[in-house]
Structure 1
Amino acid sequence: MTPQQLIRFQKIIDVKEWRENPLHESVEKKLFNLMNKLNENEVNLVLELLNNFTWIGNNQYDKKILDIFRKIDSSIISSATKFYFFPVVKPWDSYKLKSGLSLIYPVVGIINYIEELDHIEKGSNCIITNYKTLSKLKLKDTEYLILVDDFIGSGKTFKSCIEQIESYSIPLEKIILISIAIQNEGLEIITNKKIKTYYSHIERKGITDFYYADEQTKRKSLMKLIERKLKFNSKFSLGYEESEALLSLIKTPNNTFPIFWHEYYDHNLVKKAPFPRY
């Protein structure tokens, strides 16, 4: 990394106010070590992507969740008597329900601080933990099913989840989707289903949505060279489903460019990425 690139790197951190996150020293050090393995052109690409990178740490979740629930249409809030909660998970990935539920329990706890929701039943007894129980759900006119996810990428997981829910004859107008962040591609699928959706951030593809023609092709090719150089799993090239996400949450989604979350080797030693998934 050249002195000029180091200055750019420090400026990005300053502008994004990442030093307010208690984990910033670890992230900054790992980013520095990673870029020291790359050539000048490769570092320039990483710095370009970092300019548009969103890091939402654990210390920001409470506010994000409170803000999202306060966006829900007032007519829904005033008429609702009960909220049920279920994670966005593919029906055949039922083993992932546990990780989805790990987000729902804090959500339910946090929204109990919103006085406008005090009249709505929403305790832990309203959390649905499996598709079998969900299939038996019969919503009354004043009850809603809230689907919860921290990130919607390509929208394919959401699509399979909502299609399964539709097979249970649960009315779509009784469903609300809550997500910390959503990519444009996923939002389009959700919009087509006319699901009421509330989120904190809308995310764009890191290369495709910012560059065109030769500039786009050049950057994608360079990123794939970096991925091969660092020996990343090829199925995550440009992010899972080529999502090109630039986002880290409590757990970085695999839709994000793997250079930010995939472990790599340095002199036969495994090195953790700046924003690890595990």
Structure 2
Amino acid sequence: MKTDKFPLSYFNQIWTPKRSFKGRHQLNWLQLVIILVFLTSVLMIPVALNFVKMDSYPIDESYPDTFELIDDTVAAALQKTTIINGTLQMQPESEYKSKNGIVSIGSSEVQAKQKLKETNALVFTKNRFYLKNKEVPVSNVQYTKDFDLSSANSVKEIKDELSRQWFIQNRGYVMGSLMFLVFSILFVSTIFIVFGSAFFLYLTRKNSFSSIKTYKESMNLVLNALGLPTLVVLISAFVQFDIVVMLTIQSLGLVLMILMVFYQTKFNDKASLENNKSVFGGKVNG
């Protein structure tokens, strides 16, 4: 299999400091951007796997005033409701009104429309509940077959169960939004690391010892040096997932790789050819 064609040529350059330095001419600008996106996507693998494990999402911050309506009295009333296979067993409507909004249990759909005219409202009908918070679009959530509030022993547990129901129905939207947000953070962080590091390497062109002459060479070298640390981050994230730790390991790994490149090549093509000793002694074939 030929390894001199993109993208295999990139993977051929990331394993040793000398290869990373020698391969600094191989990528064009489009390929550099593709590798930048690829490295960010690698970091997204453990993020995606971690999000898949989510079975609930706290919506208190999205509907803060609505969730404040759930006090001990409301909680006690909800515990007495009977919901079988996603259907609320209708009973005389219970209504709990305060200056901040209204909670209604057992409303018809027609009644629900009236209740939702309040600034804040939590309305339970036969097959769904509605959440309304001022300045936030009304959300209606279909009951799942396992929806049950009778076993909730506190206000917090009721809020958690409502959050779980909301998440089940809005899972795709939540996952997509979180993935986009995290990808954006990681991509911007990677851009900052790559472009910043490449700039400092580019400054070495002013010294006669450096064979680095263009910014594209500097960026190519940085991306080559970033490949192995990113793979290390991927493996470590499967052991302990933490985005801050992931970015820290990636940054430190890049610094170490750049230092090793300098140690073995002095950023000079002639010195790289003459110095055939590895960091630990012995011959280097790469």
TM-score (ref. length: structure 2): 0.22
Q: Which has the higher contact order (CA 8 A, sep 6+)?
A: 2
- Greater helix content: 2
Flag the structure with larger Rg: 2
TM-score by length of 1: 0.23
Q: Which has the higher strand share?
A: 1
